[in-house]
Structure 1
Amino acid sequence: MLRLPLLFIVTGILSFLGFHVLSLFSLGAWIGEPLRNPEGWFRIHLMVLGWGTMIAMGAVYQLMDVVLQRKLYSRKLGYLHYVCFVGGSSILLAGFYRSEVSLIAAGGMLAWAGICLFAWNIGQTMRLAAQWNAVTISTACAVGYLVLTGFLGLMMGIDFVHPIWGGIHDRLLSAHIWMGAIGWFGLLITGFSYKMLPMFYLSHGESAQHPPAIVLLWNLATLLGALQFLLGGGAFLNGVAILLLLAALLLYEIHMREIRKHRHKSNPGSGILWTIYCTRGLTAYAVVLLGLVFVLPGLFAHEKLVILSGWLYLYGWVAMTILGYLSKIIPFLWWTHKYGPRSGKEKVPVMNDLIHDRYVEYGMAGMCGSILLILLGIGVGGMAFVWIGGCLLSVCSLLYMGLIVRVFIR
């Protein structure tokens, strides 16, 4: 079972490395340019589809095995999903790079077919296990939003070839971004954390009352935000969606404190600590953003604020959380795969020997500092800050991922 998650995770790592190598070649200049162009779409989809979603899919396959304590519904279907999704994403990226609408439409269709196979496989596994809790419900909702996100993207891809949506194309784009970022990544990260944070902290006895409320609030924020974009609801509904998301984040922070209160391990690892810091940063930003939406409603439509919010959420929280968790997940998967069968029969390294926590701390701190420099540059319009921060982010990210990849040769 470990081979399938590792296949997705390794492919995601390769995409991550490719993304940052390309960013270094442009010296990070693309970050300060408008993203609504073929190059911007190519880079964003390379990061979101090729890396983030690929890693997340592999993690879902592995987590379902751990949480449900049963085999995946169909490993063959998992490999077919991999072929369709990687093939479709590759064609889609080629279409963006070459500005060929036929490739964009074809790649989108194949990638969405892979997403549907993934959703069916996970859905059937959950149905047969019949273990419904905050972790499984949150994951199920996240996968559902991934299907809807892919469907909206497919509709836009078809619209490139045969324009049929007219003025609502931009609404589809906004709902596509919101549902993918908030629904897919947000619910998946928080849902995984209900299981993984207690494992990392060796926490027992924490309250279970917060996760159901977090799942409900996060779903309401996702649905209201997407409907607002599709129907053109305006700044008020934007503010309500952000308020719901902020309430979910605050409850999530309370739940993390509850886990730490009942911990039996003082230090869960630097990667995990940084994910907690980034969650607090996102929560603080949501408070500020909510105030801006109600005081200056028109500001929310400003491109600079949208870009700044997107970078802070997608890289400052989603990417940093994934990277922090990888510092624990990769050593666990590799140790289990390589040394698990030999444990107790011969001398094997312990899991902590596979990665140095001090270097994890340096890498996470370097990436976080680089992101703050990028955000400063976007906020004040200082392109020099954006370029320097972009280059530093790529360098730190490549070094950090080198630390992760090194696990495979230990």
Structure 2
Amino acid sequence: MFRLPLLFIATGIASFVLFHAGSLFTAGGWALDHPRSPDGWFRIHLLVLDWATMVAMGAVYQLIDVVLQRRIYSRMLGYVHYVFFTGGTVILLAGFLQSRVEWIAVGAVAAVIGILIFVWNVGRTLWEAKRWNPITLSTACALLYLALTGLLGLAMGLNFAFQFWVDFHERLLAAHIWLGTLGWFGLLITGFSYKMLPMFYLSHGASDRPQYYILGLWNAAVLLGVGASLVPGWSGLTLGVILLLAAALFAYDRLIRDIRKHSHKASPGRGIVWTIWSTRALLVFCLLSFGIGLAAPSLLRSLTWIVIAGWVYLWGWVAVTVLGYMSKIVPFLWWTHKYGDQAGKPGVPVMSDLISERNVDVGMWVMAAGLLVAVAGMGFVEPRAVVTGIAVLSGGALFYIGVVARVFTR
């Protein structure tokens, strides 16, 4: 069973390297281009689909066994899913690069078929387990939002090719972004964290009540955000979305504090510590955005602030969390795959020997510094700071993923 998760995670690592190597090749200058351009679409989908979603899918195939104590409904469907999703995203990315709308449409169809296979496979596993709690409910909601994200992406891909809904395209795009970023990633990360954080901290006895608050508030933020995107006249509800998200993050932070309070381990690892810091940073950013929305609503709707918010959320929280969890998941998968049947024998390394905590910390610090410089440059309209920050971020990301990938040589 470990081969399927490793296949997705290894492919995601390769896409991550491609993204940041390409970023360094342009010295970070690509970040100055308009995000809604063929090159911008290519880079965003390479990072979001071929890295973050690919790794998340691999993690789900592994962690579903931990959460439910049962295997995935069909391992064979997992491989079929991989073929459709990977092949579809490759065609989609090529279509963006070459500005070929027919490639975009074909790639979107194949990728969505892969997504729907994944949703069916995991959803069927959840249904048969019949163990409904905040973890499984969050996972189910995340799967629903992923399917809707894919279907809206498919609708936009077909619209590129056949121009069916020209006037509605912008609204579809906004809903696509809300569902994918806040819905799929947000609920999957928080949902699985209810299980993983107590494991990393060796924590027992923390209350599960905040999990229900987080689930309700996060879903409300997603649904209100989608409504504000699709329903004419609802665009002014964005402040409500931000406030709901801030409340969900506050409850999430309280849960983390309670888990730490009941911890029997001094540290869960530097990668996990960084995920906690990033959650608190995102909460601060939400409160700042809410204040700006009250004082200067036009600034909150500006392209500059939207781009900054995208970087803070997708890189500052989603990417940091995925990378932090990879520092634990990848060594576990590889050690179990390679040494699981040799445990306790002379010369067999322990899991902590597979990855350097010091190097994990160094990589995170470099990425954080690069992101802060880039975001400050975007806010103060300083192109050199943006370019420098993105270049530093990409350099740190390549170093970090090298630390993670080196696990496979141990």
TM over 0.5, shorter chain: yes
User: Shift of the alpha carbon at 1:242?
Assistant: 1.1
- Unpaired segments ≥5 residues, structure 1: none
CA distance in 1, matches of 2:235, 2:111: 33
User: Shift of the alpha carbon at 1:205?
Assistant: 0.3
Please name the residue that 1:114 is paired with: 114
User: Shift of the alpha carbon at 1:181?
Assistant: 0.4
Percent identity, aligned pairs only? Answer: 55
Contact in 2 for aligned 1:235/1:293 (Cα 8 Å): no
Please name the residue that 1:263 is paired with: 263
**Could you say what secondary structure the match of 1:268 adopts?**
coil
Please name the residue that 1:383 is paired with: 383
**Could you say what secondary structure the match of 2:206 adopts?**
coil
CA distance in 1, matches of 2:70, 2:5: 15
User: Shift of the alpha carbon at 1:189?
Assistant: 0.7
User: Shift of the alpha carbon at 1:238?
Assistant: 0.6
Please name the residue that 1:349 is paired with: 349
Match of 1:250, as an amino acid? F
1:123-153 per-residue CA deviation (whole Å, 9 max, x = no partner) reads 1111111111111110111111000001111
**Could you say what secondary structure the match of 1:339 adopts?**
helix
Match of 1:330, as an amino acid? V
CA distance in 2, matches of 1:136, 1:58: 17
1:349-393 per-residue CA deviation (whole Å, 9 max, x = no partner) reads 001100111111111111111110110011000010111111111
TM-score, normalised to structure 2, is 0.99
Matches within 5 A, 1:61-100: 61-100=61-100
User: Shift of the alpha carbon at 1:336?
Assistant: 0.6
TM-score, normalised to structure 1, is 0.99
1:200-251 per-residue CA deviation (whole Å, 9 max, x = no partner) reads 1100000010101101110010011011101133453111111111110000
Contact in 2 for aligned 1:112/1:150 (Cα 8 Å): yes
Please name the residue that 1:59 is paired with: 59
CA distance in 1, matches of 2:38, 2:400: 28
Please name the residue that 1:336 is paired with: 336
CA distance in 2, matches of 1:32, 1:309: 15
Please name the residue that 2:406 is paired with: 406
Runs of at least 4 residues off by over 6 Å: none
CA distance in 1, matches of 2:296, 2:390: 29
CA distance in 2, matches of 1:104, 1:24: 26
Greater alpha carbon shift after TM alignment, 232-241 vs 354-363 = 232-241
Contact in 1 for aligned 2:210/2:252 (Cα 8 Å): yes
Contact in 2 for aligned 1:29/1:387 (Cα 8 Å): yes
CA distance in 1, matches of 2:351, 2:143: 31
Please name the residue that 2:240 is paired with: 240
Contact in 2 for aligned 1:32/1:386 (Cα 8 Å): yes
CA distance in 2, matches of 1:232, 1:48: 28
Contact in 1 for aligned 2:203/2:260 (Cα 8 Å): yes
Contact in 2 for aligned 1:218/1:248 (Cα 8 Å): yes
User: Shift of the alpha carbon at 1:297?
Assistant: 2.0
CA distance in 2, matches of 1:167, 1:293: 27
Matches within 5 A, 1:139-178: 139-178=139-178
User: Shift of the alpha carbon at 1:166?
Assistant: 2.1
User: Shift of the alpha carbon at 1:271?
Assistant: 0.5
CA distance in 1, matches of 2:219, 2:179: 10
Q: Find out whether 1:200 has 2:200 as its counterpart.
A: yes
User: Shift of the alpha carbon at 1:346?
Assistant: 4.2
Please name the residue that 2:130 is paired with: 130
CA distance in 1, matches of 2:100, 2:176: 21
Match of 1:118, as an amino acid? F
CA distance in 2, matches of 1:274, 1:344: 31
Contact in 1 for aligned 2:229/2:235 (Cα 8 Å): no
Q: State the Cα RMSD in Å.
A: 0.9
User: Shift of the alpha carbon at 1:304?
Assistant: 0.2
CA distance in 1, matches of 2:154, 2:256: 37
Contact in 2 for aligned 1:201/1:268 (Cα 8 Å): yes
Aligned length: 410
Match of 1:283, as an amino acid? L
Match of 1:201, as an amino acid? Y
CA distance in 1, matches of 2:233, 2:291: 18
Match of 1:141, as an amino acid? C
1:25-51 per-residue CA deviation (whole Å, 9 max, x = no partner) reads 111111122100000000000000000
Contact in 2 for aligned 1:213/1:248 (Cα 8 Å): yes
